[in-house]
Chains A and B, each alone.
Chain A
Amino acid sequence: DTAVSQTPKYLVTQMGNDKSIKCEQNLGHDTMYWYKQDSKKFLKIMFSYNNKELIINETVPNRFSPKSPDKAHLNLHINSLELGDSAVYFCASSRSGMNTEAFFGQGTRLTVV
C-alpha cells in the first residue's frame, strides 16, 4: 500500500528519445509535484499541480510536459532527451494549503546515454 508510487524506478535511454514517468498517489491529496535531484543531490521543484491544474512551472524546458489525468495521477513526459536530463526525478503529493506535509515517491533514476 505504497502512498506515492512512481514507475519506472530506473530508466536508461539514448539521446533524442522520448520517455514518460508515471506517478500515482493513494493518499487522497489534491496537489502533486515533480522535483528533480541533480548529481549534487540538490532537489528543485519542476511542476506543481492542484486539482489537475498547473500551478507552478519552474522555468523547465518545454521538452518536459506534465499531465494530470486526475487528482491521483501526475505523469511526466520528456521529449528529445538530452544528456543533461540525467537525474533522479521525484514525484510528491500533499493536501493543498500552506500547512500541509508532502510525501515523496521512491524516485526515478533517468540516465541518458
Chain B
Amino acid sequence: GIQVEQSPPDLILQEGANSTLRCNFSDSVNNLQWFHQNPWGQLINLFYIPSGTKQNGRLSATTVATERYSLLYISSSQTTDSGVYFCAVVSGGSNYKLTFGKGTLLTVNP
C-alpha cells in the first residue's frame, strides 16, 4: 500500500515563529487532507488539497502531486496551534480509505 511520511516528527516553536511541515507519499494520490488534532483529541479539517495551493488565515498548504509531496505552512504561530498535524491520502486503488502519516507533534511555547 501507499506509504505516507511526515517530517519533522516533533517541532517546538516560540510564539510568533513560522514553520513548514512536510508530507511525502509513495504513489499517486486522488485526495490529500491535512488535519490538526488538538490537545483535546479532536481531528479538525485544515485543508482538502489533492493539488495546488490553498490559504486559510495564517495557514496555507501546497501539494505538488507530480513530485509526491505536500507542505503545510504555519505563520505567526500561536499556542493554540499546538497539537499533532496529520497528512492523509487516498491512493488510486483505495477509494474508501484515508492512509495517514504518523503526524508532526507541534508545541508552541508562549
A98 to chain B, nearest CB (A): 4
Contact residues on B (Cβ < 8 Å of other chain), bracket: 20 to 34
The reply to whether the CB of A39 lies closer than 8 angstroms to some CB of chain B is: no
The reply to whether the CB of B86 lies closer than 8 angstroms to some CB of chain A is: yes
Which residues of B sit under 8 angstroms from A44, Cβ to Cβ?
Answer: 100
Binding site for A on B (CB under 8 A): 30-31, 33, 35, 37, 41-43, 45, 48, 50, 84, 86, 88, 90, 92, 94-100, 102-103, 105
Task: Tell me the nearest residue of chain B to A109, going by C-beta.
Answer: B41
Binding site for B on A (CB under 8 A): 31, 33, 35, 40-45, 48, 50, 55-56, 58, 88, 90, 92, 96-104, 106-107, 109
Q: Which secondary structure dominates where chain B touches chain A?
A: strand
Q: Are A45 and B103 in contact, with the CB atoms below 8 A? A: no
Could you pull out 17 A-B pairs where Cβ atoms are within 8 angstroms? Answer: A33-B97, A33-B98, A41-B102, A41-B103, A41-B105, A42-B100, A56-B94, A58-B97, A88-B41, A96-B96, A98-B30, A99-B30, A101-B45, A101-B48, A103-B45, A104-B45, A107-B43
Q: Are A106 and B98 in contact, with the CB atoms below 8 A? A: no
B99 to chain A, nearest CB (A): 8
Which residues of A sit under 8 angstroms from B50, Cβ to Cβ?
Answer: 99
The 6 closest A-B pairs by CB, nearest first: A98-B30, A48-B96, A101-B48, A104-B43, A45-B97, A43-B100
